[in-house]
Amino acid sequence: MLEILKSRLLQGYRAGKFPRRAPVMPERFLGLPLIDNSLCQKDCSACLQTCPAGAIQKESDGGITLDCGKCIFCGKCARACKSGVIKFSRQHDLAAFERKQLLRRDASYSYELQPKPIIRQLCGRSLKIRQVSAGGCGACELDFNVLNTLAWDMARLHIQVVASPRHADCLLVTGPLSKNMLLALKKTYLSMPEPAFVIACGTCPISGGIFAGSEAVCDGIEEVLKPDLYLPGCPPHPASIMEALLRFMGRQMRPMEGDRENKAQKEDKAQEGDKKPEDSLKA
C-alpha cells in the first residue's frame, strides 16, 4: 500500500486540461489546410500529381479545391506547390456537419458553428457512443481510445463508450468500410434506438481515404449510412476527436475567425493558479 502511495506521488496529477485550455499541438502537426487560390498558377498541377489520395481538383477558374474528406494530411501537396497556395495550419478542429463543408478553396474557418437542434437537445448533456471499426488500419481506434485515459478523460465531459448498440446515442465509425464489415455495420446500426446519429471518424469512413478504389472496400460509409458529423484526419489527433464530439453535442463553440489566438491566451491567463478541474464543466 505504501508503495502504491509513493508511486502516486511520483506520478503526480496529470489530468488533461482540454477543453478548458487549447491543446498544445506538435510543432510539425498538419491540421486544417489553408488555401490561397490567388497565388495558384493556371497551368500547374504539381499538387494534383503528388497527392496520393486524389483529394485535390483543379477548377475551371484556375484555382484548386482540396477535399479534406479525402485528404490524408501527408503534406506532400504543400511541399510540391512552389507558389505557396496550400499551407497546413496547426489548427486541430477539423470536423464539419456537412460533407460539402470539407471542400476547401480558401483560408477561412467558415464551417457551420451549431449542431442540429435535435442533436443538441438529445445529446447536449451526455453522449453514449458505440464504436464500430469497419476496415482501416486501427489508428483511429487507438486515438479514440486515448480519450479514455486520464490525459483526456472524456467521461468527465459526460461522453462514454458503451458496449451495446442498444445503449448508444451515436455510432462512431472508423475505416473505409471493408465489404466484409458491411453486414455487421448495418446490423449494429439497426440495433440502435432512433434517432441513431452517425459520426464518421477519420478520412477513411468519409471517402475510403487511401484505400479508395480497392475492390475490397466500399469507399466510405456514405452510401450505407449518412454521417451527422464528418471528422477528417489520418488518424485525427485526440484533440480533434474530443473537439468534434463536444461540438457535436453543442457544448463547444468554434471560436470566430481571427478570435482564435486571443481567446486561447485569455483563457490561459484566466486560469492561472486555478486548480479546480470541475470548472471546465460549468463553462
Partner 1 sequence: MAEQFLILRNPGAAPLSELPILPFDEFRSQALAAIIGRKARVVAFFAYAHGAAQRLLLILASDQEGKLLLSSSEIEGAFESFTPSSAQFHWFEREIYEQHGIMPKGHPWLKPIRFDSPGSNADEPGVCEYFRLAGEAAHEVAVGPVHAGVIEPGHFRFQCVGEQVYFLEISLGYQHRGIEKMLRQGPDKKSLHLMETCCGDSSCAYSGAYAHLLESLQEDLCPTERTQVMRMIAWELERLANHTGDMGALANDVAFRPTMAYCGRIRGEFLNMTAELCGNRFGRGLIRPGGMGYDINDAIVAKLLPWLQASGKELRNALELLFSRAGVLDRFENTGTVDSKTAANIGMVGIAARASAQKQDLRSYHPYGWYRENPYEAAWAESGDVYARALIRYEEIKKSLAMLEPALKKLPPAEKNAATPPLSLQPKHIAVSMTEAWRGELCLCAITDEQGRFEQFKIVDPSFHNWYALAMALRGEQISNFPLCNKSFNLSYCGHDL
SS (H, E, C) 136-183: CCCHHHHHHHHHHCCCCCHHHHCEEECCCHHHCCEEEEECCCEHHHHH
Which long-range contacts does 83-87 make (Cβ < 8 Å, 24+ apart)?
A: 83/39, 83/40, 83/41, 83/44, 84/36, 84/39, 85/35, 85/36, 85/37, 85/39, 85/40, 85/47, 86/33, 86/34, 86/35, 86/47, 87/33, 87/34, 87/36
Please answer whether residues 44 and 86 qualify as being in contact, where contact means their C-beta atoms are separated by less than 8 angstroms.
Answer: no
28 binds partner 1 (CB under 8 A): yes
Local structure of 59: helix, strand or coil: coil
The residue assigned the cell 499551407 is 87
Instruction: Please identify which residue in the block is written with the cell numbers 471499426.
Output: 133
| Residue with Cβ nearer partner 1 (37 or 148) | 148
Cα(239)–Cα(194) distance, integer angstroms = 28
Asked if 234 touches partner 1 (CB under 8 A), the answer is yes
Q: Using CB under 8 A, which residues numbered 157 to 186 contact partner 1?
A: 161, 163-164, 175-176, 178-181, 183-184
Judged by beta carbon, residue 55 or residue 96, the one nearer partner 1 is 55
Q: Quote the least distance from Cβ 126 to partner 1, whole Å.
A: 18
Q: Which of 51, 71, 86, 119 is in the footprint of partner 1 by CB under 8 A?
A: 51
> Which one of 39, 118, 216, 256 is in contact with partner 1 (CB under 8 A)?
216
**CA distances to 100, 107, 153 from 39, in Å:** 23, 12, 43
The answer to whether residues 19 and 154 touch, using CB atoms and an 8 Å cutoff, is no
Q: What does DSSP assign to residue 217?
A: B
- What minimum distance in Å lies between the beta carbon of 256 and partner 1? 26
| Residue from the set 103, 146, 224, 264 that interacts with partner 1 by CB under 8 A | 146
> In this chain, which of 2, 26, 272, 273 binds partner 1, going by CB under 8 A?
26
By the rule CB under 8 A, 7 interacts with partner 1:
yes
User: Nearer Cβ to partner 1, position 28 or 269?
Assistant: 28
Q: Which is nearer to partner 1, 135 or 250 (CB)?
A: 135
Site for partner 1 in 110-139 (CB under 8 A): 131-139
Q: To the nearest whole angstrom, how small is the minimum distance from the Cβ of residue 25 to partner 1?
A: 8
Closest CB to partner 1 among 65 and 89?
89
| Chosen residue from 37, 50, 160, 271 binding partner 1 by CB under 8 A | 50
**Phi, psi for residue 207 in degrees, rounded to 5:** -140, -5
Is residue 131 within a helix (H) or strand (E), and if so which, with residue range?
A: strand 127-133
What minimum distance in Å lies between the beta carbon of 270 and partner 1?
26
Count of residues that bind partner 1 according to CB under 8 A: 66
Which residues here bind partner 1, judged by CB under 8 A?
3-4, 7-8, 10-11, 14, 26-30, 49-53, 72-76, 131-146, 148-151, 161, 163-164, 175-176, 178-181, 183-184, 188, 209-211, 213-217, 234-235, 237-238
